[in-house]
């Protein structure tokens, strides 16, 4: 009996100690939070470094409002890390925000949400009514259009003119339609833009490239027609094109439908079918003379599938192209197994730039090949800053935001971090600088980690193209002096840029300008796409594997109709005409 009582007591004791354990945990947590807060406060204290030049400049540009007019205001801002991962320094440590606080006297309490669960977190914050003054990062078009009333309407007469004149200036430079580009169908403005437009480098077309060493090894000329390409690929297959002694390991034409844009669909370009980057994937429509034209039901489309099937049947395509992951594709590229494949640039894959050449052929007689993408490509984030409808600090927020965009120097600081590392000035002009590469303290850094840790990249202010010496990408500061860089094939920025310049003329002129749409209309389109796209993709793949017959073609045409292909085309026509 005594033993039993002891056991019961033991059980009770266990429970108590357990609970205590959890309570203890809670306490530790509180302490840690306290410690973290103190740390944050210390780092957020205004740095005393001189930023005099910029501050004076700002005073002149804010239309009579003294820079420190809103001093003492505290703003709550939610943002996400500048990179897609969270292992970067928090906003408190970024130069631009320190400068902004110092100049305007406005303090920002940052909450850093995660990139991975950003959209969930934003929606949860919205649902809980726990709204900050602003979200500074892409909230997303659909979230805004679904919850329009939660975001402050900035189209109010005179508001932006008074508090954000510098921002407006940039907007006029960046968008062909000016401030109207930021308007919602009802005329309101619910978000301001951030980021920077780039017309060539960031255009995300992947190029078809051919290995010229392979061409030499099999003694053939650069192909210009579909038939010639076929011959070359056959030679790649039959001979030891990569010269490793094994004539059987070559895969003439490589692609990876599950990786980036190394997509087999790109080969439709040779048959006059291309994709404009207006927010959707696939090659299923084109804008011709102001009309959205279907492409997936044309003779060119069929000719393309038949040609690709011929390649597949004759062992010229990578059989695993439809299923392999990016890793597997990259491994094959690096093992020199591909003669032709799609890439952002050879340098981005760690390849020898001089060995690869842009492969451009005419697939069909009478049909001009077109390259994916259009000449205007918007890389700005049009929903970059959203202010909550019930924020009490709208003018202060706009003022703070505008201050950071009031000079080119500040914009650059916001974008790339403090002056003198990634960028610098020379005789009044701003250049990208290479000098950091020689400084020992940055020995372990790359330009991208520097940007992410010091600047805020696309999640801060809006920049225009002429904010730094843009037109000549190859002019950098070397030892403080603008120097035209010699082309370095190992530099991925330069190689990419060179490739892009070479192919600009092949891009499409016409495209559908991305506008904010009515949410119901967007939802209608999404519903069609979720079924239509996989259906077409499946037809493409099975046709390439097994060939096209009249029977399968007719069944496919019928499917296009059932799956709403023509409604989808019509939707884009309306979008093009600005009717949504």
Partner 1 sequence: MQRMIRTRGRSANRIRQSWDNRLFDALANTFLILLTIVTLYPLWFVLVASFTDYKLINAGTLLLYPRGFQVAGYKMVFADWRVWTGYANTLFYTVCGTAFGALVTILAGYAFSRKDLPGSGILMKLFIFTMYFGGGLIPTYLMIKNLGLLDTRLLMILQGSVSVHNVIVVRSFMRTNIPDELLDAATIDGCGNGTFFMSIVMPLSKAILAVMVLYIAVSHWNSYFNALIYLTDRYKYPLQVFLRQILLQTAENHELAEDVEAVMEMQQMVATIRYSIIVVSTAPILCLYPFIQKYFVKGVMIGSVKG
Partner 2 sequence: MRNGRRGRRVKGFVNQQAAQKIRKRSKTWKLMKKNWLLYMFLLPAALYIAIFHYGPMYGLQIAFRDYKAVNGIWGSKWVGLKWITTFMDTPRFWMIFKNTLKISLYSLISFPFPIILAVFLNNVRNVRRKKFVQTVTYMPHFISTVVLVGMLSLFLSPRNGIVNMLAGLFGGPTDTYFMGRADYFSHIYVWSGIWQSMGWGSIIYVAALTGVDQELHDAAQVDGANKLQRIWHIDIPSILPTIIIMLILRLGSIMGVGYEKVYLMQNSLNITSSEVISTYVYKMGLQDQRFSYSAAIGLFNNVINFIVLIIANKTADKVSGSSLW
- Positions in the binding site for partner 1 (CB under 8 A): 3-5, 7-8, 10-11, 14-15, 18, 21-22, 25-26, 28-29, 32-33, 36, 83-87, 111-117, 120-121, 123-124, 127-128, 130, 327-328, 330-332, 334-335, 347-351, 446-449, 488, 490-493
Is 116 or 466 the residue whose CB approaches partner 1 more closely? 116
Pick one of partner 1, partner 2, none as the site partner of residue 445 (Cβ within 5 to 8 A by kind): none
Closest contact distance (angstroms) between CB of 332 and partner 1 is 8
Q: Least distance to partner 2 from the beta carbon of 465, Å?
A: 30
Report the sign of the C-alpha dihedral through residues 449, 450, 451, 456, in that order. positive
Q: Least distance (Å) from partner 1 to the CB of residue 246?
A: 13
Nearest-approach distance from CB 125 to partner 1, in angstroms: 9
- Of partner 1, partner 2, none, which one does residue 520 interact with (CB within 5 to 8 Å by kind)? none
Alpha helices in 256-387 (DSSP H): 299-313, 326-334
Distance (Å, rounded) from C-alpha 537 to C-alpha 559?
A: 12
CB of 123 to partner 2, least distance (A): 5
Look at residue 197 and give its three-state secondary structure.
coil
> Closest distance between partner 2 and the C-beta of residue 12, in Å?
11
Rounded to a whole number of angstroms, the distance between the first and last alpha carbons of the chain is 82
Q: What DSSP state is assigned to residue 320?
A: G
**Phi, psi at 149, each rounded to 5°:** -70, -15
Q: CA 231, CA 250: separation in Å to the nearest integer?
A: 15
> From the centroid of its chain, how far is CA 213?
33
DSSP strand pairing (107-112 vs 207-211): unpaired
Nearer Cβ to partner 1, position 228 or 491? 491
Least spacing, CB of residue 322 vs partner 2, in Å: 5
Give the pair of three-digit tokens for residue 383.
């929903």
Identify which of residues 83 and 389 has a Cβ nearer to partner 1 in the complex: 83
537 binds, among partner 2, partner 1, none (CB under 5 to 8 A by kind): partner 2
CB nearer to partner 1: give 281 or 488: 488
Residues 355 and 333: beta-carbon distance below 8 Å: no
What one-character-per-residue DSSP string does 102-149 give? HHH--EEEEEE--STTHHHHHHHHHHHT---SEEES---HHHHHHTGG
Give the one entry of partner 1, partner 2, none that residue 178 binds, where binding means its C-beta sits below a cut-off of 5 to 8 angstroms depending on kind: none
| DSSP letter, residue 540 | H
Q: Work out what residue 438 binds among partner 2, partner 1, none; the CB cut-off runs from 5 to 8 Å by kind.
A: none
Cβ distance to partner 2 smaller for residue 487 or 527: 527
- Cα pseudo-dihedral 479, 482, 486, 488, rounded to 10: 70
Whose Cβ is closer to partner 2: residue 93's or residue 280's? 280
Nearer residue to partner 1 within complex by CB, 32 or 47: 32
Q: How far apart are CA 463 and CA 389, in angstroms?
A: 26
**Which lies closer to partner 2 via its Cβ, residue 10 or residue 319?**
319
Query: What does 119 bind: partner 1, partner 2, none (CB cut-off 5 to 8 Å by kind)?
Result: partner 2
Angle between helices 447-454 and 408-416 (to 10 degrees): 110
Smaller CB separation from partner 1, 50 or 443: 443
**Residue 149 interacts with, from partner 2, partner 1, none (CB under 5-8 Å by kind):** partner 2
Question: Alpha-carbon distance 303 to 311, whole Å?
Answer: 13
Residues engaged in binding partner 2 (CB under 8 A) = 119-120, 123, 126-127, 140-143, 146-150, 257-258, 319-320, 322-325, 327-328, 526-527, 530-531, 534-535, 537-538, 540-542, 545, 562-564
> Least distance in Å: CB of 122 to partner 2?
9
- What are the structure tokens assigned to 577, written together? 């005409």
Q: How far apart are CA 580 and CA 576, in angstroms?
A: 9
Q: Residue 382: in which H helix or E strand, if any?
A: strand 381-387
């Amino acid at each position: 009996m005594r033993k039993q009582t002891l056991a019961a007591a033991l059980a009770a004791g266990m429970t108590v100690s357990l609970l205590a354990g959890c309570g203890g945990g809670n306490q530790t947590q509180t302490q840690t939070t306290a410690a973290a807060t103190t740390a944050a406060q210390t780092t957020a204290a205004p740095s005393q470094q001189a930023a005099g030049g910029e501050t004076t400049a700002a005073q002149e540009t804010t239309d009579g409002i003294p820079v420190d007019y809103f001093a003492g205001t505290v703003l709550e801002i939610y943002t996400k890390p500048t990179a897609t991962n969270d292992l970067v320094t928090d906003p408190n440590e970024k130069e631009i925000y320190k400068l902004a606080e110092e100049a305007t006297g406005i303090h920002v309490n940052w909450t850093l949400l995660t990139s991975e669960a950003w959209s969930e977190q934003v929606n949860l914050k919205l649902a809980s009514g726990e709204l900050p003054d602003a979200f500074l990062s892409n909230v997303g078009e659909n979230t805004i259009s679904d919850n329009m009333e939660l975001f402050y309407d900035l189209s109010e007469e005179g508001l932006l003119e008074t508090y954000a004149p510098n921002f407006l200036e940039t907007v006029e430079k960046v968008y062909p339609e000016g401030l109207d580009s930021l308007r919602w169908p009802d005329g309101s403005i619910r978000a301001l833009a951030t980021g920077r437009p780039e017309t060539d480098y960031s255009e995300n077309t992947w190029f078809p490239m051919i290995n010229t060493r392979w061409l030499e090894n099999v003694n053939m000329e650069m192909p210009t027609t579909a038939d010639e390409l076929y011959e070359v690929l056959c030679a790649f297959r039959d001979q030891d094109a990569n010269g490793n002694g094994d004539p059987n390991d070559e895969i003439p034409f490589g692609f990876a439908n599950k990786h980036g844009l190394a997509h087999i669909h790109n080969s439709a370009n040779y048959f006059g079918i291309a994709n404009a980057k207006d927010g959707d994937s696939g090659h299923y429509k084109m804008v011709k003379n102001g009309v959205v034209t279907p492409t997936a039901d044309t003779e060119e489309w069929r000719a393309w599938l038949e040609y690709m099937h011929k390649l597949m049947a004759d062992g010229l395509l990578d059989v695993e192209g439809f299923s392999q992951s990016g890793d597997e594709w990259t491994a094959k590229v690096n093992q020199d197994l591909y003669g032709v494949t799609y890439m952002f640039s050879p340098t981005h894959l760690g390849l020898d730039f001089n060995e690869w050449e842009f492969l451009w052929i005419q697939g069909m007689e009478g049909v001009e090949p077109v390259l994916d993408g259009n000449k205007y490509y918007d890389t700005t984030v049009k929903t970059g800053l959203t202010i909550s409808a019930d924020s009490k600090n709208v003018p202060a927020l706009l003022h703070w935001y505008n201050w950071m965009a009031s000079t080119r120097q500040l914009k650059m600081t916001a974008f790339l971090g403090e002056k003198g590392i990634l960028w610098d000035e020379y005789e009044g002009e701003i250049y990208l600088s290479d000098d950091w590469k020689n400084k020992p303290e940055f020995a372990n850094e790359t330009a991208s980690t520097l940007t992410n840790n010091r600047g805020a990249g696309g999640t801060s202010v809006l920049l225009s193209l002429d904010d730094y010496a843009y037109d000549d990408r190859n002019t950098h500061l070397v030892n403080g002096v603008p120097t035209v860089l010699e082309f370095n094939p190992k530099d991925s920025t330069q190689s990419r840029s060179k490739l892009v310049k070479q192919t600009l003329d092949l891009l499409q002129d016409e495209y559908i300008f991305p506008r904010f749409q009515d949410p119901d209309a967007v939802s209608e389109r999404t519903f069609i796409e979720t079924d239509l796209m996989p259906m077409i993709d499946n037809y493409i793949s099975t046709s390439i594997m097994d060939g096209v017959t009249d029977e399968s073609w007719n069944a496919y045409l019928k499917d296009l109709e059932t799956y709403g292909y023509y409604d989808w085309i019509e939707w884009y026509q309306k979008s093009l005409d600005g009717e949504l």
